[in-house]
């Protein structure tokens, strides 16, 4: 049976990427070696890294002075690497709290400087993106989380502030154009939503923000270490970077992030329209801040929750159970999710309504 995987991550990737990656595990580019065993110092892998870096530059229109890096440790490591690298002693940064991951990032950042929460939607269950706040003076950067996987909210416009934006884009990187990249000081994103398998993290940093004296930071936690060695200071996660490169190549072939945005808008519109129409279901995020990547919803009759999950799983729709902290359901519809799968889920919701309304 064909499975429609709505998991929040690790998520699905394009079928073409799965096929090419699977072949590379057996024989990488006709070399007689697996991608899993080639040297990370070989010319073959250097070409993979170079292409991956260039694809990031091309797809996001990075200006001069921005360096893309493929690191390890997930976005959670960036929660402390960001302030460690961007804040000098006595400096402060502003954070907006829009969910679980934003909250964790500011907790880690407080180890390295004064961190002020300038806006939060916590008291309202993280159901919206705060907009009506004023940023005071003296901040080195403003940190936001662009898309909130658990609560299903997403920035539809970037904050207009006079300091660099630092953005955790783990769950919506490459899903839409960024606009004027010069407003960003640093972007980071775990691969396992829209870019590749778990195991590598993309960081894009504006070099002129790195002001520590060489040697002040631990070598592995200094972005300049990885810039100098082009993401290969130590043994990098070869396979996750390779699959990420394949995925970025696929995004470019589909028409780039502009094409991804059109596809994602169509999928999200289809699903939200059914949630709003169907008498049994209700969305949880405010309409103006609804995510195009993660769609949380609940049943008006909670006693039917397990029935709906079983009904979907029997039909081949998996990964719909909501995060344990909020319950309900969550359909993650990242770049590689075909609209046919969303249509299938909508049909299941309609059939469930006929049976139980």
Average pLDDT of the residues in 49-66: 98
Q: Could you tell me if 175 and 265 lie in one domain?
A: no
Q: Could you tell me if 241 and 344 lie in one domain?
A: no
User: Considering 97, 172, 193, 222, which one is annotated as catalytic?
Assistant: 193
Average pLDDT of the residues in 207-214: 94
Whether the per-residue pLDDT at 273 is higher than 90: the answer is yes
Residue 79 within a domain: yes
Q: Tell me, what CATH number does 319's domain have?
A: 3.90.1150.10
Q: Could you tell me if 222 and 270 lie in one domain?
A: no
309: nearest Cα among 330, 285, 325, 295: 330
User: Considering 97, 168, 172, 222, which one is annotated as catalytic?
Assistant: 168
- Counting Cα atoms < 13 Å in the Cβ hemisphere of 13 gives 23
Average pLDDT of the residues in 57-77: 98
Q: Could you tell me if 348 and 294 lie in one domain?
A: yes
194: nearest Cα among 2, 5, 6, 9: 9
Q: What share of the chain has pLDDT > 70, as a percent?
A: 100
Confidence (pLDDT) at 60: 98
Residue 32 within a domain: yes
Which parts of 255-322 fold into alpha helices (H)?
256-277, 305-315
227: nearest Cα among 42, 65, 30: 65
Residue 194 within a domain: yes
Q: Could you tell me if 242 and 270 lie in one domain?
A: no
Is residue 193 flagged as an active site residue?
yes
The first and second tokens of residue 274, run together, are 């059914």
Residue 57 within a domain: yes
Angstrom distance (rounded) from CA 215 to CA 210: 13
Tell me which of 233, 254, 275 is where a domain ends. 254
pLDDT digits (tens, 9 = 90+) for 101-126: 999 999 999 999 999 999 999 999 99
Whether the per-residue pLDDT at 53 is higher than 80: the answer is yes
Q: Tell me, what CATH number does 212's domain have?
A: 3.40.640.10
pLDDT digits (tens, 9 = 90+) for 70-85: 999 999 999 999 999 9
Q: Could you tell me if 212 and 153 lie in one domain?
A: yes
Tell me which of 210, 228, 254 is where a domain ends. 254
pLDDT category of residue 357 using cuts at 50, 70 and 90: confident
Residue 7 within a domain: no
Q: Could you tell me if 298 and 181 lie in one domain?
A: no
Q: What share of the chain has pLDDT > 90, as a percent?
A: 97
Which parts of the chain fold into alpha helices (H)?
15-26, 43-60, 74-86, 100-109, 223-228, 238-254, 256-277, 305-315, 339-356
Q: Which domain holds residue 89?
A: 15-254
Confidence (pLDDT) at 263: 98
pLDDT category of residue 251 using cuts at 50, 70 and 90: very high
Residue 95 within a domain: yes
Number of domains in the chain: 2
Residue 267 within a domain: yes
Confidence (pLDDT) at 214: 86
Confidence (pLDDT) at 199: 97
- Torsion-angle region of 304 (φ positive above 0: left; ψ -120 to 50: alpha; else: beta): alpha
Q: Could you tell me if 74 and 212 lie in one domain?
A: yes
Q: Could you tell me if 213 and 271 lie in one domain?
A: no
Beta-carbon count within 10 A of 10 CB: 15
Whether the per-residue pLDDT at 1 is higher than 90: the answer is no
Task: Provide the β-strand partners of residue 95.
Answer: 117, 143
Q: Could you tell me if 263 and 186 lie in one domain?
A: no
Angstrom distance (rounded) from CA 287 to CA 97: 19
Q: Could you tell me if 65 and 185 lie in one domain?
A: yes
Residue 205 within a domain: yes
Whether the per-residue pLDDT at 182 is higher than 90: the answer is yes
Strand, coil or helix: what is 294? Answer: strand
Whether the per-residue pLDDT at 324 is higher than 90: the answer is no
The mean of the pLDDT values for the chain is: 97
User: Considering 3, 50, 97, 101, which one is annotated as catalytic?
Assistant: 101
> How many angstroms from the chain centroid is the CA of residue 80?
18
Is residue 276 flagged as an active site residue?
no
Q: Could you tell me if 239 and 306 lie in one domain?
A: no
Strand, coil or helix: what is 210? Answer: coil
Angstrom distance (rounded) from CA 20 to CA 285: 37
Tell me which of 254, 280, 308 is where a domain ends. 254
């Amino acid at each position: 049976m064909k499975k429609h995987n709505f998991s929040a991550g690790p998520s699905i990737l394009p079928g073409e990427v799965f096929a090419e990656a699977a072949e590379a595990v057996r024989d990488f580019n006709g070399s007689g070696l697996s991608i899993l065993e080639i040297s990370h110092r070989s010319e073959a892998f250097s070409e993979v890294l170079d292409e991956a870096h260039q694809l990031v530059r091309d797809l996001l229109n990075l200006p001069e002075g921005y360096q893309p890096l493929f690191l390890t440790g997930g976005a959670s490591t960036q929660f402390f690497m960001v302030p460690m690298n961007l804040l000098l002693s006595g400096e402060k940064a502003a954070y907006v709290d829009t969910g679980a991951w934003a909250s964790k990032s500011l907790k880690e950042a407080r180890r390295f400087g004064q961190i002020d929460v300038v806006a939060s939607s916590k008291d309202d269950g993280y159901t919206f993106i705060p907009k009506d706040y004023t940023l005071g003076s003296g901040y080195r950067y403003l940190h936001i989380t662009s898309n909130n996987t658990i609560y299903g909210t997403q920035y539809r416009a970037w904050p207009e502030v006079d300091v660099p934006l630092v953005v955790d884009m783990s769950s919506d990187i490459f899903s839409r154009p960024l606009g004027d990249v010069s407003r960003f000081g640093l972007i980071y994103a775990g691969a396992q939503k829209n870019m590749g398998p778990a195991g590598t993290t993309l960081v894009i940093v504006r070099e002129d923000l790195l002001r520590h004296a060489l040697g002040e930071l631990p070598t592995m936690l200094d972005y300049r270490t990885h810039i100098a060695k082009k993401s290969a200071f130590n043994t990098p996660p070869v396979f996750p970077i390779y699959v990420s490169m394949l995925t970025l190549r696929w995004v470019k072939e589909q028409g780039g992030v502009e094409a991804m945005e059109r596809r994602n808008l169509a999928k999200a519109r289809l699903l939200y329209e059914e949630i709003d129409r169907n008498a049994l279901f209700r969305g949880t995020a405010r309409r103006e801040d609804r995510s195009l990547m993660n769609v949380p919803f609940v049943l008006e009759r909670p006693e039917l929750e397990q029935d709906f999950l079983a009904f979907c799983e029997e039909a081949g729709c998996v990964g719909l159970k909501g995060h344990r902290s909020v319950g309900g359901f969550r359909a993650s519809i990242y770049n590689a999710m075909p609209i046919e799968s969303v249509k299938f889920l909508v049909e299941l919701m309609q059939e469930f309504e006929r049976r139980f309304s």
